[in-house]
Amino acid sequence: MVTMFFLKPRSYLAWAVMAWALSAAAQAPANKAVNGRDFIVAVVDAVPITNHDVNLRAPQLREQLKQQGRPVPEGNALLRATLERLIVEKALLQHAHDTGITIEDEAVNQAEQRLAAQSQISVDELHQKTKAEGASVERLRQNLRDQLTLQRLSERNVPSRIRVSDVEVDQAVRERQSASLSTNPDIELGHILIAVPEKANDSEVAALDAKAQIALARVKRGDDLAQVAHAFSDGPERDKGGLMGLRAANRYPTLFVEATNNLKVGEATLVRSGAGFHILKLVNKRASSVATITQTHARHILLRPGGQLSQTTARAQLAEYKRQIEAGKADFASLAREHSQDSSGPEGGDLGWVTAGMFVPEFEAVMNPLKIGQIADPMISRFGVHLIQVLERREAPISEREARDMARNSLRDKKYEETYQLWAQEVRGRAYIEYRDAPQ
């Protein structure tokens, strides 16, 4: 089935009116066809909704609710929910018409390309699939036009209704800092190393273990760390007061982080490694003072279907490039410079360091799960066919202002759904709605 969806701005959930539709679902049931005849079940501002419309949309509603993890009504309850969803949609479309919103054919063409890219098929294949399912291409394009209309209408009306206060932003930033305290806090460890020679015998190891236990006991009873380190440590921190410096936890050896993870500030523990015995004291622990964001370093080869190059041929060609690269018979950068039709081609396809949201969703959906060095199978986007490889990932610092902007945008995203539903309900309330019973 070709699943339809609202093309809402940013990352907002599809079918945003669904919760409102379900809340109103008990108002009027949709009935089954009478003697095989279709009939009108509701009228919204002179626009009819038929029993066939309801039954056609119900499976899509069921699938959407499953994907969102929401309860799925069955039988007549599902049909009633579908009818209410259609009523809200018709009311919104009529409101868009009244306010002069129109969608250009080129925008519908691009929406077709996005829909095909999500299924990793060509537009021609999308049309064939639509016909095979008993629908028409004209109906598909009209559905896309309606969804683009709803998107444009919501973009004009919803964002201005969302309010995010500085107090809410402050709270969101604090919550993020609190989360970083449990994931990657800034910590400072005191470190005393009792080195164990590589060829030390059992008695020598036992003596060094006893020495480490004495040092640990002195640290635990509150002796000055610098004095204990000067007296016992063989490590580089001996002349630094035993301190390793305040840094993000992921910049410490994993062994040290795991050993001190459950310690309170001021507590100490002993751990053994191949180098010897380590007395570790948690001197300081706080939320990371530097917010970070994950960045990906990737490269790609882009082929744009057209003329003599079909989408199928482009995919096959890139699949062959992938096989050659993985077999060591070709170099990714060289192939990109020779064949890629993207502006990054001369740079070997290098896209540089990028953050989430910089590429179209279908590209990022394939790129993000890739491991370092991994090459994805050829994928389709609205721009053509891509062969993607991830080279590196890193955590990059962001400024306090950027952190606040991110928090504000996140809060706006969270509030969008509720605001959208309330606004849709207002529009519905102004519409003329007439429910009709099934003919006897």
pLDDT mean over 413-439:
90
Distance CA 157, CA 9 (A): 12
180-239 pLDDT per residue, tens = 555 667 889 999 999 999 888 999 999 999 999 999 999 999 999 999 999 999 988 888
Which range marks the domain in which residue 84 is found?
A: 18-163+423-435
342-389 pLDDT per residue, tens = 999 999 999 999 888 788 888 998 999 999 999 999 988 878 899 999
Question: Are 137 and 230 part of one and the same domain?
Answer: no
Buried b (16+ CB within 10 A) or exposed e, 77-87: ebbbbbbbbbb
146-180 pLDDT per residue, tens = 999 998 899 899 999 999 999 999 998 877 766 65
- Residue 1 confidence (pLDDT) above 90: no
Could you count the other beta carbons within 10 Å of the beta carbon of residue 306?
Answer: 11
Instruction: Determine the pLDDT at residue 425.
Output: 93
Q: Which amino acid is at 334?
A: S
Instruction: Write the DSSP symbol of residue 309.
Output: B
User: What are the phi and psi torsion angles at 379 (to 5°)?
Assistant: -130, 155
pLDDT mean over 313-325:
94
Instruction: Determine the pLDDT at residue 19.
Output: 31
Instruction: Determine the pLDDT at residue 20.
Output: 30
Question: Are 33 and 153 part of one and the same domain?
Answer: yes
Structure tokens at 273: 């490694």
Closest CA to 225 of 261, 275, 189: 189
pTM of this structure: 0.56
Question: Are 300 and 234 part of one and the same domain?
Answer: no
Instruction: Determine the pLDDT at residue 288.
Output: 63
Instruction: Determine the pLDDT at residue 24.
Output: 33
Residue 319 within any structural domain of the chain:
yes
Strands annotated E in 45-185: 47-50
Instruction: Determine the pLDDT at residue 22.
Output: 31
CATH of residue 94: 1.10.4030.10
- Residue 428 confidence (pLDDT) above 50: yes
Question: Are 58 and 150 part of one and the same domain?
Answer: yes
Question: Are 202 and 324 part of one and the same domain?
Answer: no
pLDDT band at 289 (very low <50, low <70, confident <90, very high): low
Instruction: Determine the pLDDT at residue 33.
Output: 53
Residue 144 within any structural domain of the chain:
yes
Element (H, E) at 364: helix 361-367
Residue 408 within any structural domain of the chain:
no
CATH of residue 319: 3.10.50.40
Residue 12 within any structural domain of the chain:
no
Residue 180 within any structural domain of the chain:
no
pLDDT mean over 57-84:
89
- Ranked by mean pLDDT, which of 3-17, 31-45, 154-168 comes out on top? 154-168
